[in-house]
Amino acid sequence: MSILVNKDTRIIVQGITGGQGAFHTEQMINYGANVVAGVVPGKGGLDFNGIPIYDTVDSAMDENDANASVVFVPPAFAADALFEAFDTSLELVVAITEGIPSHDMMKVNFSIPPHARLLGPNCPGILTPGETKLGILPGDIFTPGPVGLVSRSGTLTYQVASNLTNSNLGQTTVIGIGGDPIIGTNFIDCLELFEADPDTKVVVMCGEIGGEDEEQAADFIKENMTTPVVGFIAGRTAPPGKRMGHAGAIVSGTGTGTAQSKIKALEAAGVSVGQTPSEVTDHVKKFL
Amino acid sequence: MRLHEYQAKSVFSDGGIPIPPSGLANSVETVLEETNRIGYPVVIKAQVHVGGRGKAGGITLVQNDNEAEIAANKILGMDLKGYLVYEVLVEQAIDFVDEIYLGVTLDRSSGMPVAMVSSEGGIDIEQVASSTPDAISKTYVNPLLGLSDSQAKTAVLDAGISPTLTDKVANILLSLYNIWETSDATETEINPLMVSKDGDVIATDAVLNIEDDALFRQKKLADLRDTRNNNKLESKADLYGFNYVRLDGNIGIIGNGAGLVMTTLDLVDHYGGKPANFLDIGGGANSVRVENALEILFEDENVDSILFNIFGGITRGDEVAQGINDALENFDTLPKPIVVRLDGTNAKEGMEILNTDHLTVESTLESAVQRAIELASKGGD
């Protein structure tokens, strides 16, 4: 089994003809994703490699029974694309776009209807090995298996997943929740889904400095999870006040959001925290 | 992006927040012109992007020309926590009976704006925040609706501010919220908002930080960026479009993806080394980007060895290897030892074509880190 997405997920790509959108849509299709439509304002009626393009998400939904969308729309127009997606019956919207202003994302987050979920923005997306991918994760480093993987960072996810795969530890579903301060789906949402998935035997959670999401996740794990969790936190050596690449990856001047506080909270919740990515693999082995 | 106090005050003033009469000066002569225009007593304040300027000696109250000249001579050109002072704000000193704190920021956990008010404003607000957080009233705001009049008044009353000031302070809080929203600020602050004995309120300090990701639609504010105090290498990295942070160690790091680069720094520390920088080269590391990144690290005199760690996701290992080959063609001998580790998509193909004449190649992240540390210590001998 898997969480959120599988081979039956019917996908719309918003921004399907842009550089990123076009390249990754092809990669998604090659991986097995069921892309049913694209949306590009002004290009309705055309097609992308045989996939019909529509001017609006609404018109794409009229003719295609999609349930998820992937958004590659540039930052200045991304919020509008997300509002548009959430005005339909779409259940999952994956925002890949990096650099959407936080003020926009706050408003988007307050506009998500109860039936829908946002993943991202500034995330690599979500992939269920052997079935489908929505986003930009490189397909060939994943393999099916019992490990649920959730992470704030893209390439760190790849590093950890690749270590797991090389040790014959496959994955149920791999989710990148994104490195921005304001995101849709968070760690707790994913942990809850993995906990409910009978095929996920261990969860790996990769956090990083900034914010308090990892601390809150630790509370959740302590109170609600029976599935073992292995953790990793990036940014132990980051100096306060400096943004380490991701907009959200910053230790505040007053010292909140440090890796140390996150590791301490996770360990107190019974999570095995790896000091290095390869230690993460070692911890996972103990539980399988 | 941080604005200087004088820049933030100008935005505040346009947004309806009262500020004292003031002027900007960059020499002793212009300081004296301003003090005489404004009238003593005045405060002379260094305009640099650091907190705690007062405690660091960057703010002085002066009563006459003689004191003004001494203060101007001391502050202009001084090194304030690593920042050179180019300008001072000359501002009328306010006779106050109370100091209030107002702030608006983004609360990450709730994803909401939060408006903050405290009756205990002044230089020790951070102390107040950590020791008696209840002394700061916090109001969470629905970002679609904005801060309402009644919320603003309630916030001010909750903070224990004299009811005679409620309307005045609430109006300033509303203005501050509007400025925060319309300028795509990450945070904005008035500390202190001074209360005179006649009950007037006036903002004597101003913080306004704008979100970098929103600068594309905040052109007027973006033009206020002051890069004179930027490190030369940081400016160069900015120009090349890298995420770069200079640190104080001697192992130069180049990698792709923020989380993985941070992890690489952590591993350097884990194995007893000290990273010289964070440099995220981003996706699609072609030869130009590789060359630009290497240029920054070659120029950094602190760097003794360079660790190039790429996990090819969508970026293909063979393309990265080609990029490194092309970039190194310009060098007969390398100024600094380089360790390369390629993994992920097409890493094997990449390793095969990589010109290893000048390079050290390692197959795992851990071994690459240890090798870079070893080479750096040799270089230091």
ipTM of the complex: 0.91
Name the catalytic one among A24, A103, A246, A283. A246
Domains and CATH numbers, chain A: 1-122 (3.40.50.720), 138-288 (3.40.50.261)
* Total Cβ atoms within 10 A of residue B168: 17
- Beta-strand relationship, A68-71 and A92-95: parallel
CATH topology for B96-222? D-amino Acid Aminotransferase; Chain A, domain 1 (3.30.470)
Strands A272-273 and A229-234, how do they pair?
A: parallel
Q: Do domains B21-92 and B96-222 have the same CATH topology?
A: no
**Where do we find the tokens 């990892």?**
A214
**Chain B partners within 8 Å of A159 (Cβ):** 260, 263, 311, 343, 365
| Residue among A26, A137, A237 with most chain B CBs within 10 A, to mutate | A237
Strands of chain A, DSSP E: 10-14, 34-39, 47-48, 51-54, 68-71, 92-95, 117-119, 125-128, 132-135, 144-151, 171-176, 202-208, 229-234, 272-273
pLDDT at B120: 87
The whole-number pLDDT of residue B380 equals: 47
**Low-confidence stretches of chain A (pLDDT beneath 50):** none
Render B136-166 in DSSP notation, one character per residue: EEEEE--TTT---HHHHHHHHHHTT--GGGH
**Structure tokens belonging to residue A10:** 């019917």
Query: CB of A11 within 8 A of CB of A5?
Result: no
Q: Cis omega (within 30 of 0) on the bond before B192?
A: yes
Interface test with A, best of B145, B213, B277 (most A CBs within 10 A): B213
pLDDT per residue rounded down to tens, chain B (381 residues): 999 999 999 999 999 999 999 999 999 999 999 999 999 999 999 999 888 888 899 999 999 999 999 999 999 999 998 899 999 999 999 999 999 999 999 998 899 999 999 998 887 777 777 777 778 999 999 999 999 999 999 999 999 999 999 999 999 999 999 999 999 999 999 999 999 999 999 999 999 999 999 999 999 999 999 988 888 898 899 889 899 999 999 999 999 989 999 999 999 999 999 999 999 988 666 778 888 999 999 999 999 999 999 987 767 788 888 888 888 887 778 889 999 999 887 888 888 888 888 889 998 899 999 999 999 988 544
CA distance B380 to chain A (A): 22
CB atoms A236 and B344 under 8 Å: no
pLDDT at residue B50, as a whole number: 84
Catalytic, A246? Answer yes
A–B: how many Cβ contacts below 8 A? 173
Per DSSP (E only), the strands in A6-91 are: 10-14, 34-39, 47-48, 51-54, 68-71
Structural contact between residues B294 and B329, judged by C-beta atoms closer than 8 angstroms: no
Q: What is the pLDDT of residue B379?
A: 59
Q: Say yes or no for a CB contact (<8 Å) between A238 and B260.
A: no
The token duo for A219 is: 């509370």
Strand segments, DSSP code E, in A193-243 are: 202-208, 229-234
- Using CA coordinates, name the residue in chain A closest to B272: A237
Give chain B positions within 8 Å (CB) of A276.
267, 270, 365-366
Give B267's contacts in chain A (Cβ within 8 Å). Answer: 276
pLDDT of residue B381: 43
Residue A45 burial by Cβ neighbours in a 10 Å radius (0-12, 13-18, 19+): exposed
pTM over 0.90: yes
Stated as kind and residue range, the H or E segment containing B255 is strand B251-255
Question: Which of B263, B255, B296 is CA-nearest to residue B279?
Answer: B255
Q: Which residues from chain A sit within 8 angstroms of residue B216, using beta carbons?
A: 75-76
Contact indicator for A231, A150 with CB cutoff of 8 Å:
no
Cα A167 to Cα A33, A170, A284, B257, B317, distances in angstroms: 26, 8, 10, 23, 21
| Cβ <8 Å between B213 and A99 | yes
Q: Which residues of B touch A206 (CB under 8 A)?
A: 259
Residues from chain A contacting residue B213 (CB–CB below 8 Å): 75, 99-102, 247
| Predicted pLDDT of residue B63 | 97
Cβ contacts of B222 within 8 Å, gap of 6 or more: B1, B210, B215
Kindly identify which residue of chain A lies nearest to residue B260, measuring between CA atoms: A156
CA-nearest residue to B182 within chain A is: A103
**Is domain B21-92 in CATH 3.30.1490.20, yes or no?**
yes
Judge: B265–A238 Cβ closer than 8 Å, yes or no: yes
Q: Are B192 and B5 in contact (CB under 8 A)?
A: no
Q: Closest to A234 (Cβ–Cβ): which among B111, B216, B259?
A: B259
Left if phi > 0, otherwise alpha if psi is -120 to 50, otherwise beta: which for B277? beta
Provide the residue ranges of all domains of chain B, joining segments of one domain with +: 21-92, 96-222, 232-377
- Give the H/E segment covering residue B193: strand B185-196
User: How many residues are given for chain B?
Assistant: 381
Cβ contact A209–B214 (<8 Å) = no
Closest-CA residue of A relative to B145 is A107
Q: Is B249 helix (H, G, I), strand (E, B) or coil?
A: coil
CA of residue B52 relative to chain centroid, distance: 14
Nearest to A113 by CA among A95, A139, A92: A92
Q: Which residues of B are catalytic?
A: 101, 189
Identify the architecture of domain B232-377 in CATH.
3-Layer(aba) Sandwich (3.40)
Task: Please report where in the chains the tokens 């090798």 appear, as a residue.
Answer: B371
By Cβ distance, the residue of A100, A124, A212 closest to B213 is: A100
Let me know the angle formed at the C-alpha of B260 by B257 and B265, rounded to the nearest 5 degrees: 120
Q: What is the DSSP letter of A115?
A: T
Interchain pair A244, B313: CB under 8 A: no
Cβ proximity of B371 and B339 under 8 Å: yes
DSSP state of B223: T
Cα–Cα distance, B101 to B89 (Å, whole number): 21
